[in-house]
A and B are shown apart, each in its own frame.
Chain A
Amino acid sequence: EAGVAQSPRYKIIEKRQSVAFWCNPISGHATLYWYQQILGQGPKLLIQFQNNGVVDDSQLPKDRFSAERLKGVDSTLKIQPAKLEDSAVYLCASSLEGAQFFGPGTRLTVL
């Protein structure tokens, strides 16, 4: 069974630029999550989808971050414009029931 796929693996941008991350969850997993992991900390939830609907986006900085899962499968997370403090690893996870399975993450560096 293929795992959660993410791309790109690494991205370096300058502040005020835009960036987008892509996630393809495990086939059949209805729930998809985006987490932000800042160096030295545990991951923190940004947004959770159930199929193509948003379940929880209370911690998403909506002035600059957006995410969508239009067809209930793939998802994209966008940052526009990026700030220095957005430097982190962005993790996508999916679940069917119970445990979440994580992708390899995208490491974002904002200069």
Chain B
Amino acid sequence: GNSVTQMEGPVTLSEEAFLTINCTYTATGYPSLFWYVQYPGEGLQLLLKATKADDKGSNKGFEATYRKETTSFHLEKGSVQVSDSAVYFCARSLGANSKLTFGKGITLSVRP
């Protein structure tokens, strides 16, 4: 079926550490892929997106590359900050105005 799988959490890192959060998807066709972030006490915010294979989305130092051959969209950041502590959701959609299918989300905590 169509789904999004994220690595199990939570993840705790020290400030300035390298971050990778894995995400894989299954889908027929060519989905668009997204990362959303939910900071404590706030709503879901779009972090970055990619709409076709080999596209790289980037924002706030975060990057993710749409890998069709491995059906993955892993999120990376070279040096995390305490302010990056949040819940991160990977999601996919099958069209411009299609519903989003989300992964379970992963909680990231960054220690000073």
| Interface set of A (CB-CB < 8 Å, partner B) | 30-31, 33, 35, 40-45, 48, 50, 55-56, 91, 93, 95, 97-105
- The B74-104 residues at the A interface (CB cut-off 8 A) are 89, 91, 96-97, 99-104
Which 7 interchain pairs have the tightest Cβ spacing?
A: A42-B102, A102-B44, A45-B99, A104-B43, A31-B97, A102-B43, A97-B96
Given A98-B32, A99-B49, A101-B46, decide whether A42 and B97 contact each other with a Cβ distance below 8 A.
no
Cβ B44 vs Cβ A91 within 8 A: yes
With both chains docked as a complex, state the minimum distance between the C-beta of B57 and any C-beta of chain A, in angstroms. Answer: 11
Cβ B105 vs Cβ A41 within 8 A: yes
Q: Please, which residues of chain B bring their CB within 8 A of the CB of A104?
A: 42-43
Cβ B49 vs Cβ A43 within 8 A: no
Q: Please, which residues of chain B bring their CB within 8 A of the CB of A93?
A: 44, 100
Given contacts A50-B97, A95-B97, A98-B49, 20 further A-B contacts (CB under 8 A): A35-B100, A40-B105, A42-B91, A42-B104, A42-B105, A43-B100, A45-B99, A48-B99, A55-B97, A91-B43, A91-B44, A93-B44, A93-B100, A95-B96, A97-B96, A98-B96, A99-B49, A100-B100, A101-B46, A102-B36
